[in-house]
């Protein structure tokens, strides 16, 4: 049941692309796993263990056809900021100026209503680009972890 899909085998693992779940989900499975047997998940007991268990719960809910709740590791505000950051980084990669990016993100009228050199929108776009650069440099891994209080 779980192992149906497009498969590609290598010497050590079996790769399965599940399209039936509505999203393309790629699984890497040990070659010794039987299509008729249950899947097994191994979660190391480490600092990231709770994060991995939450991800596994979401995966299992998807497999079983249950409603998958929003990921609790990212707030609604963070999702909005990430979306804006991706748009800003993509626009910068296509040689758009910060002012052009601001016009797309915030609207032409709003950008035109402020003096650009002292505009808070300019600072926001600059911050989104800096944030995007940090994500590209590996900061995205922090998104996969719950906030920890020591």
Within-domain flag for 60: yes
Within-domain flag for 1: no
Are 50 and 95 part of one and the same domain?
A: no
CA distance 63 to 75: 24
pLDDT score at 118: 93
Q: In which element (H, E) is residue 124 found?
A: helix 120-136
CA distance 10 to 72: 34
Q: Residue 76: which pLDDT band, with cuts at 50, 70 and 90?
A: confident
Are 134 and 103 part of one and the same domain?
A: yes
Are 53 and 99 part of one and the same domain?
A: no
Domain end: 16, 33, 64, which one?
64
Within-domain flag for 130: yes
Domain span at 31: 6-64
CA distance 41 to 113: 55
Q: Residue 27: which pLDDT band, with cuts at 50, 70 and 90?
A: low
Are 95 and 136 part of one and the same domain?
A: yes
């Amino acid at each position: 049941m779980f192992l149906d899909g497009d498969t590609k085998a290598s010497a050590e693992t079996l790769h399965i692309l599940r399209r039936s779940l509505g999203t393309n989900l790629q699984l890497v499975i040990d070659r010794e796993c039987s299509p008729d047997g249950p899947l097994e998940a191994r979660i190391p007991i480490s600092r990231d263990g709770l994060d991995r268990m939450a991800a596994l719960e979401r995966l299992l809910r998807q497999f079983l056809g249950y409603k998958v709740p929003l990921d609790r590791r990212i707030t609604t505000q963070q999702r909005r900021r990430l979306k804006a950051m991706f748009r800003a980084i993509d626009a910068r990669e296509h040689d758009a100026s910060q002012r052009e990016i601001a016009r797309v993100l915030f609207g032409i009228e709003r950008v035109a209503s402020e003096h650009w050199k002292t505009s808070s929108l300019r600072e926001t776009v600059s911050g989104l680009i800096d944030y995007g650069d940090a994500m590209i440099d590996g900061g995205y891994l922090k998104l996969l972890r719950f906030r920890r209080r020591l």
